[in-house]
Amino acid sequence: MQMRRCGQSAARGQRCGQRAGSGAMAAPRSFSAAEVRARCAQGACLVSCRRRLYDLSGFVRLHPGGEQLLRRRAGTDVSAALDGPPHRHSANARRWLEQYYVGEMEPGGEQSLPESVDEKAVDAAAQSPAQMDPRYKTVDVETDLVDWQKPLLWQVGYLGEKYDEWVHQPVDRPIRLFHSDFLESLSKTAWYVVFIVWAPVVLYLSWVSYTSLAQGNTRLFSSFTTEYSIPVHKYFFPFIFLLGMFLWSLLEYLIHRFVFHMKPPASNYYLITLHFLLHGQHHKSPFDSSRLVFPPVPASLVIGFFYGVLRLLLPEVLGLSVFVGGLCGYIIYDMMHYYLHYGSPKKGTYLYGLKAYHVKHHFEHQKAGFGISTRFWDHPFRTLIPEETFEKED
């Protein structure tokens, strides 16, 4: 995709930002260089692009490149950093930036930020709001295509051919799916709930599997032949458990790629709605912390289905052992997914690279990079995100 210049994106964002309610907003507020420096001295993270000013204070912890990278650029013009090298930011990243627009730099101010902080500027900054929360800005329905004040689940199906492009243009806004408060509560989950609910199940079923194998009655292929059946000893349990985790990693990839990233027909209201319910909501609002893990109620239905499949394919105890390993893999997957959005891994570590990889999937390469807890399956399926698109380490 041809990248848009910051100034072009800014002009579009300014037009959108001026629409609110039933009438146009007042002219954007002007900020002096001294006031910007003062706000940054108080802990805010303001940056400019040409003369447009953005407050990234609420985004610094989520920045894929790390909080310190943004902190070092507080109070500066980031135009060159957006254009690269070493990393040219995507069109979606530039749209994302526009959400944090708060005003304009005074003429000449973007080129002459003062080294010292004016005490009067500090006082002025303290008397005005430190941050403008972009998540609650009014959005023009003609531009954003939906009414954010109403549940989205029943609106997205009407987007038709516009849905696929719309859902892959992420925003920093909370999403409501249902009219019913009860159904809405079932669609949200704190990350630690997954561990609290499923970790005891893994521990209990692991004990059941191990003690059952210890009885020595489990044999592989016994349903076909008794002469050549293979006994399964209790000491095989750790290896069967790991096999379950490995199979889950494959299942995770396949579900993410072929179910979550199916492209629903533009003419089918119900498939579009289903896609948004399953995964589209996450791509539209990737930092909604209550929608990063699978809620236990629908998860239990899916988990029960896969347990039933394993019971049909494998002897009871053997199928249970594989299932327990897969369930453990699922817990790790959900925990990992939350961390890749809200964690702050150290630069140069495996998790740092995995986070950058996943964010690329959200903002630039929605048709690649389907691995969450591992990139392993992206290799044989040839869906790796190209290495040259990543910022090189210093």
Helix (H, G, I), strand (E, B) or coil at 319: helix
User: Any bridge partners for residue 47, and if so which?
Assistant: 54
**DSSP track, 283-294:** HHSTT-GGGSS-
87 assigned to a ligand binding site: no
363, 90 in Cβ contact below 8 A?
A: yes
The closest alpha carbon to 245, from 177, 331, 169, 134, belongs to 331
Helix (H, G, I), strand (E, B) or coil at 142: helix
Residue 380: cis peptide before it, omega within 30 degrees of 0: no
365 assigned to a ligand binding site: no
The closest alpha carbon to 60, from 48, 50, 49, 47, belongs to 47
Pick left, alpha or beta for residue 273 (phi over 0 → left; psi -120 to 50 → alpha; otherwise beta).
Answer: alpha
261 assigned to a ligand binding site: yes
Q: Which two tokens stand for residue 66?
A: 């790390």
Pick left, alpha or beta for residue 122 (phi over 0 → left; psi -120 to 50 → alpha; otherwise beta).
Answer: alpha
233 assigned to a ligand binding site: no
Which run of H or of E encompasses 338? helix 316-342
168 assigned to a ligand binding site: no
Q: Which two tokens stand for residue 357?
A: 């990889």
275 assigned to a ligand binding site: no
Distance CA 385, CA 251 (A): 20
Q: Which two tokens stand for residue 14?
A: 């300014």
Distance CA 340, CA 335 (A): 9
CA count, 13 A, side-chain hemisphere, 37: 16
Distance CA 37, CA 75 (A): 6
Distance CA 70, CA 112 (A): 20
Cβ atoms within 10 A of the Cβ of 37, count?
21
Helix (H, G, I), strand (E, B) or coil at 192: helix
Summarize the annotated binding site for heme as residue ranges: 63, 89
Annotated binding site for Zn(2+): 256, 261, 279, 282-283, 337, 341, 358, 361-362
Q: Binding site: which residues? A: 63, 89, 256, 261, 279, 282-283, 337, 341, 358, 361-362
